[in-house]
Structure 1
């Protein structure tokens, strides 16, 4: 059973904005709400872009 709950519930809106920003950077059009019509490749590219940005942000933080 999948559980897509945020550890910090107040962060939900910020994570959604972050996802939309990452999607636009890789050229994937997302809608608000359900996006089950996108391909696995598109979903993976959005997730990969999010991880890439999080790693870059952490690397800048530890410098």
Structure 2
């Protein structure tokens, strides 16, 4: 289990570039935790209640982007 790290962004990055980098980082972090949850990691499973299930559907476009 890891914490979401502070995202370093280039000094001259546009708002769009910063948001894109933040979204990619957040999705990678979410997919990592989803994977360890699926593998049966007790720490990952014990921290979830019915209201914040990590098993929400992941859009195909996101899966396709992360697989590339």
- Does TM, scored on the shorter chain, surpass 0.5? no
Q: TM-score, normalised by structure 1?
A: 0.45
Greater Rg over alpha carbons, structure: 2
Is the helix fraction higher in 1 or 2? 1
Task: Calculate the TM-score normalised by the size of structure 2.
Answer: 0.42
